């Protein structure tokens, strides 16, 4: 396939534009066909029996489609319908398959295979797969990898669910939510390539480190079309649309941010926006030639009222005002015996008196300025929030020292999300075909609305775990979140089989569940290894770390955020090399010496950034301080739950302060 692509001649394109286009298409295809010696072309085989399924023969299953010189298929894409039984067939329902074969690879070399005969009853223990277990047990090095070879039936149901269907996955730590979400994106891009390439697919994650951790999964599956973004980046775009230099740079107390994330703010903004529309007090008079044409006050009022009732966005309606007024004048002209055409109406609509009159009734509104005014002008807020927010809440919303202008405002994340909402009230936000929202439990109602408008004509995969909710504005139930997302009927699936955390560790972490999420089923571990859990006194960080440095695989040293710089200094003093999650290497650092996240043996992880990540070995420092750093106890315990569930093999808890009582 590579040779064929390489031999293609772009000069056949004729004109310059076509040649350039062809050349870039060929270059892209060559890139997609590039060989990765570590990633085998196939990982499974299905032998179909023919008969009922009308499919016969052997099919190799791989990450992408591969065809031979004649164009006949050698390897079938894992997402094709023919591949489905690889993930779903059972002895009870073999789906037309006689034999399923799994191939084992090490560093790209075929090392083993296993066959399952699906036509006979299984002798006991026969369903065990060493290849599957090896994949689940393998040490984790570097960023996240794909799981195409071992997607489990309950995961596959989610991955392949229909594009029109929005799905919400409540899943315990390590049950594969992130993996499933990314594979669903890849599946949908395959099954609806044309539609989704046009409309776009968006993957939303909690922070930049998390996005760096997952960024290679989709390209490894051959998908480069999906956009990956954080909610902050989305909201920042709304600021940048007003002024390209603006960014989210402000901080505010949790209870204020929570109030700004409340869905009632949507109505407040809507009222504040529409309060700009005012009814005229004088008639419109348009001189034309020797005549003066007049639109009376009541008629202008009718124009305003009918446009308001059309349910279009503020900006779209505003654009219609001059034409609507001009139309009234046109009618007058006709009544007076003239026969004006459309050009006359256009000219009248563009005339200064009409534009001024329309502009006064229906002024242009800049979304950032609107939010800035709502948060600094007590009168505007009081009228827009009447009956919605209490006086105390209004007082909380108002800036104590209002910035002089939107430009000098240090916008916070919650405020940027309000600007995004306001921008949508003025002008409709474009919708993509599908959004995968990870760690969605942490989004505020206003953030969920930001995703709702971006998927108004598309569907959503919502992933999260209520037990891992650590923002003060986190959602309390999936029904509530789905309502804000505009998909109240989305199906909620639960995943409880954990692929990351070994039994010993997950059982310890689950002690927190009755406090942090009483309604949730406790997770189980599918890992055969029970893992190791050690609780040790914390005398010196470097001594604790020295105890795990020799272990194979990645190490995450998770500490309360406030301890990170001290711990880093201790490690440096002890001569230990490490990267810090969430920090770019210094610009002047020697490139050979640069440690980037997830590329080295030891990562220092601020507790606030641990979410979604995993390491073979985790050393967790000072749980009590980690809990105390959060605004309330429950949030603190949830943060602890997140940090306790990052380990694939071993967890060492080192503490000087007494452990939180909830762990005993």
Ligand X SMILES: Nc1ncnc2c1ncn2[C@@H]1O[C@H](COP(=O)(O)OP(=O)(O)OP(=O)(O)O)[C@@H](O)[C@H]1O
Binding residues for ligand X, rule: CB under 6 A, are: 135-136, 140, 147, 150-152, 155, 171, 173-179, 465, 468, 499-500, 612, 614, 645
Whether 475 has a binding-site annotation, put simply, is no
We find the least distance from the C-beta atom of residue 145 to ligand X, in angstroms, to be 6
We find the least distance from the C-beta atom of residue 630 to ligand X, in angstroms, to be 18
We find the least distance from the C-beta atom of residue 87 to ligand X, in angstroms, to be 9
When the beta carbons of 324 and 481 are compared against ligand X, the nearer one is 481
Taking alpha carbons only, the member of 540, 533, 474 closest to residue 506 is 533
We find the least distance from the C-beta atom of residue 276 to ligand X, in angstroms, to be 44
When the beta carbons of 101 and 611 are compared against ligand X, the nearer one is 611
We find the least distance from the C-beta atom of residue 131 to ligand X, in angstroms, to be 11
We find the least distance from the C-beta atom of residue 506 to ligand X, in angstroms, to be 11
Whether 173 has a binding-site annotation, put simply, is yes
When the beta carbons of 147 and 448 are compared against ligand X, the nearer one is 147
We find the least distance from the C-beta atom of residue 600 to ligand X, in angstroms, to be 18
Whether 410 has a binding-site annotation, put simply, is no
When the beta carbons of 440 and 559 are compared against ligand X, the nearer one is 440
> How far is 5 from 525, CA to CA, in rounded Å?
46
When the beta carbons of 176 and 556 are compared against ligand X, the nearer one is 176
> Which is it for the CA torsion 631, 634, 640, 641, positive or negative?
negative
We find the least distance from the C-beta atom of residue 214 to ligand X, in angstroms, to be 8
Could you tell me how many residues make up the chain? 664
Whether 596 has a binding-site annotation, put simply, is no
For 393, the 3-state DSSP assignment is helix
When the beta carbons of 45 and 184 are compared against ligand X, the nearer one is 184
Please check whether residue 143 is in contact with residue 215, taking contact to mean a CB–CB distance below 8 angstroms. Answer: yes
Residue 104: beta bridge partners? Answer: 112
Please check whether residue 173 is in contact with residue 439, taking contact to mean a CB–CB distance below 8 angstroms. Answer: no
Whether 172 has a binding-site annotation, put simply, is yes
We find the least distance from the C-beta atom of residue 645 to ligand X, in angstroms, to be 6
Which of 3-32 are b and which e, b meaning 16 or more Cβ less than 10 Å from the residue's Cβ?
eeeeeeeeeeeeeeeeeeebeeebeebeee
Whether 71 has a binding-site annotation, put simply, is no
Order of strands across the sheet with 73-77? 66-67, 73-77, 56-62, 44-49, 97-106, 109-117
Taking alpha carbons only, the member of 440, 396, 432 closest to residue 265 is 396
Please check whether residue 434 is in contact with residue 196, taking contact to mean a CB–CB distance below 8 angstroms. Answer: yes
* HEC per residue, 272-306: HHHCCCCCCCCCEEEEECCEEEEECHHHHHHHHHH
Residue 153 CB burial class (10 angstroms; 0-12, 13-18, ≥19): exposed
Structure tokens at 634: 């429950």
Return the residue nearest ligand X (CB atom): 176
Distances (CA, A) of 351 to 282, 345, 547: 18, 10, 80
Whether 177 has a binding-site annotation, put simply, is yes
Taking alpha carbons only, the member of 217, 232, 215, 209 closest to residue 187 is 217
When the beta carbons of 174 and 623 are compared against ligand X, the nearer one is 174
> Which is it for the CA torsion 133, 137, 142, 147, positive or negative?
positive
DSSP output for 313-359: -HHHHHHHHHHHHHHHHHHHHHHTT----HHHHHHHHHSHHHHHHHH
When the beta carbons of 45 and 177 are compared against ligand X, the nearer one is 177
We find the least distance from the C-beta atom of residue 76 to ligand X, in angstroms, to be 20
When the beta carbons of 461 and 645 are compared against ligand X, the nearer one is 645
Whether 174 has a binding-site annotation, put simply, is yes
> How far is 60 from 66, CA to CA, in rounded Å?
10
> How far is 523 from 501, CA to CA, in rounded Å?
10
Structure tokens at 631: 């605004």
When the beta carbons of 206 and 560 are compared against ligand X, the nearer one is 206
Give the residue ranges of the annotated binding site for ATP. Answer: 171-178
Give the residue ranges of the annotated binding site. Answer: 171-178
């Amino acid at each position: 396939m590579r040779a064929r692509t390489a031999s293609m001649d772009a000069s056949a394109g004729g004109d310059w534009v076509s040649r350039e286009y062809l050349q870039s298409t060929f270059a892209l295809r060559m890139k997609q066909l590039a060989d990765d010696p570590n990633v085998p072309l196939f990982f499974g085989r299905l032998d179909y029996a023919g008969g009922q399924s009308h499919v016969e023969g052997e099919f190799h299953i791989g990450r992408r489609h591969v065809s031979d010189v004649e164009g006949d298929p050698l390897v079938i894409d894992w997402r094709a319908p023919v591949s489905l039984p690889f993930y779903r067939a059972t002895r009870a329902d073999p789906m037309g398959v006689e034999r399923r074969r799994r191939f084992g690879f090490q560093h790209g070399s075929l090392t083993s295979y296993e066959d399952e005969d699906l036509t006979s009853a299984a002798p006991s223990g026969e369903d065990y797969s060493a290849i599957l277990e090896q994949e689940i047990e393998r040490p984790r090095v570097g960023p996240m990898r794909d799981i195409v070879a071992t997607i489990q039936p309950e995961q596959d149901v989610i991955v392949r669910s229909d594009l029109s269907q929005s799905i919400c996955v409540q899943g315990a730590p390590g049950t594969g939510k992130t993996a499933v979400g990314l594979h669903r994106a890849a599946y949908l891009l395959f099954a609806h390539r044309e539609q989704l390439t046009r409309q776009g697919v968006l993957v939303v994650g909690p922070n930049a480190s998390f996005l760096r951790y997952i960024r290679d999964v989709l390209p490894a599956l051959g998908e480069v079309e999906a956009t990956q973004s954080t909610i902050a980046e989305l909201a920042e775009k709304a600021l940048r649309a007003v002024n390209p230099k603006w960014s989210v740079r402000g901080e505010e107390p949790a209870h204020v941010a929570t109030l700004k994330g409340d869905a009632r703010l949507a109505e407040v903004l809507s009222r504040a926006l529409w309060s700009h529309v005012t009814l005229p007090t004088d008639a419109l008079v348009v001189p034309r030639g020797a005549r003066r044409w007049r639109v009376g006050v009541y008629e202008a009022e009718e124009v305003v009222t009918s446009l308001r009732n059309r349910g279009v966005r503020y900006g779209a309606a505003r654009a219609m005002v001059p034409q609507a007024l001009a139309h009234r004048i046109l009618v007058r002209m006709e009544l007076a015996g003239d026969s004006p055409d459309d050009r006359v109406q256009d000219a009248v609509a563009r005339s200064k008196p009409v534009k001024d009159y329309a502009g006064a009734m229906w002024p242009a509104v800049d979304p950032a300025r609107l939010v800035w005014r709502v948060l600094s002008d007590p009168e505007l807020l009081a009228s827009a929030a009447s009956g919605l927010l209490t006086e105390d809440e209004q007082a909380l919303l108002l800036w104590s020292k209002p910035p002089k202008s939107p430009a000098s405002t240090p916008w916070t994340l919650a405020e940027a999300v309000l600007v995004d909402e306001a921008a949508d009230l003025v002008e409709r936000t474009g919708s993509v075909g599908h959004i995968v929202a990870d760690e969605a439990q942490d989004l505020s109602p206003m953030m969920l609305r930001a995703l709702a408008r971006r998927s108004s004509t598309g569907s959503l995969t919502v992933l999260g775990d209520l037990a891992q909710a650590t923002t003060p504005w986190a959602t309390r139930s999936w029904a509530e979140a789905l309502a804000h997302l505009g998909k109240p009927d989305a199906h909620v699936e639960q995943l409880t089989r954990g692929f990351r955390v070994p039994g010993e560790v997950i059982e310890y972490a689950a002690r927190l569940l009755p406090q942090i999420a009483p309604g949730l089923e406790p997770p189980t571990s599918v890992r055969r290894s029970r893992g190791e859990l050690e609780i040790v006194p914390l005398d010196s960080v470097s001594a604790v770390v020295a105890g795990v440095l020799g272990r194979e695989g990645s190490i995450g040293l998770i500490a309360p955020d406030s301890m990170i710089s001290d711990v880093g200094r201790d490690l440096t003093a002890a001569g230990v090399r490490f990267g810090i999650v969430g920090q770019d290497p210094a610009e002047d650092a020697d490139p050979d010496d640069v440690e980037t996240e997830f590329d080295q043996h030891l990562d220092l992880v601020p507790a606030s950034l641990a979410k979604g990540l995993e390491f073979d070995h985790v050393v967790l420092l000072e749980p009590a301080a980690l809990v105390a750093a959060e605004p309330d106890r429950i949030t603190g315990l949830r943060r602890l739950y997140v940090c306790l569930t990052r380990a694939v093999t071993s967890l060492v808890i080192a503490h000087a302060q007494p452990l939180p009582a909830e762990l005993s």
